[in-house]
Amino acid sequence: MQLKTANGDVAKLAARGEAPTRGLSDVLVRDTSVAYAFIAPAFFLLLFLVAYPFVLSVWFSLSDARIGETGAFVGLENFERLLGSAIFLQTLQNSIVFTAFALGAKTVFGMALALLLYRIGRFKRLIRGAVLLPFIVPTALSTLVWWWMFEPLYSVVNWTLKSLHLVRHDIPWLPDPYLAMFTVTEPGRSDASGT
């Protein structure tokens, strides 16, 4: 009976005076301690940076812990109080509207832009560069530009609309709650998607 290896017969190697070599797969299969040693740092990082904070946050949500005090278990009392709060419900509604509008606008506008970019013939590189420019601009600078565009006193958007005779007076973009939702959603949509 002869043993086979990936490199040939062991008997042939022994007849020539050569020892069979161990391949990488043999080392990895047999040396599980080496594999565990490679996995251990990532495992401990995940354990201490993800699992521990997650378990701790679940404990805090189910207790009455305060800063500097140990908390006692209160069950779902915190969640009952939260769901009864008008501020929380308004915040939840704003988050849902923001998410629905931002994702819907990203999807529609992104698909339309992708189809247009696909069909462009002349100046393809220049136009693609202009479209991808928001990815390059830092978020802080982008935030300042959007604030300047909708700022009440010197709004570029209001100036443009008045110059085109589309409106007669300044639009209060940020003080009005409904316009403020659009005004805040639009920069978030365009900054995240780069479009």
Q: What is the pTM of this model?
A: 0.49
Beta-strand relationship, 8-9 and 4-5 = antiparallel
Nearest to 134 by CA among 110, 163, 152: 110
- Report the distance separating Cα 127 and Cα 29, nearest Å: 53
Check residue 51 and give its pLDDT: 93
User: In CATH, what number does 86-193 get?
Assistant: 1.10.3720.10
- The SS3 of residue 3 is coil
Domain ranges of the chain: 4-83, 86-193
pLDDT, tens digit, for every residue of 52-83? 999 999 999 999 988 888 889 999 999 999 99
Rounded alpha-carbon distances, angstroms, from residue 56 to 1, 51, 62, 74, 91 = 60, 9, 10, 15, 25
